[in-house]
Amino acid sequence: VKDKDNRVFMRNYRPKSDDVMWAQNGLVATVINGEVVLVVQNRITDAGFNVMVLIPMGADKVFVLSSGGNDAMVVVNSAKEFFKL
């Protein structure tokens, strides 16, 4: 009887500095009330936040990113009333 090979293979991932900056400039948010992400994106655009992009992450989570490359948290903090933080 042969013994099974019990090796575990792990991926070796080293992020590039551009990828790290991209992730650091975004934020994870929760969509409440079961809203559809596309509807929320349209509301954000209609309110004048044309640079904000929502990337669905699954369930009720989205990654919020500024398409201009700026920090998304700065935009969200400047409009706390709109984003209801």
11, part of any domain: no
State the residue range of the domain holding 56.
17-83
pLDDT at 69: 79
pTM for this entry: 0.74
Query: Exposure pattern of 51-66 as b/e (b: 16+ CB <10 Å)?
Result: ebbbeeeeeeebbbbb
10, part of any domain: no
pLDDT at 1: 54
2, part of any domain: no
The tally of domains found in the chain comes to: 1
Q: What is the mean pLDDT of the chain?
A: 86
Higher pLDDT among residues 9 and 56, named by residue: 56
76, part of any domain: yes
- Write the pLDDT tens digit of every residue in 16-56: 999 898 899 999 999 988 889 999 999 999 988 888 999 99
6, part of any domain: no
1, part of any domain: no
State CA 77 to chain mean position distance. 16
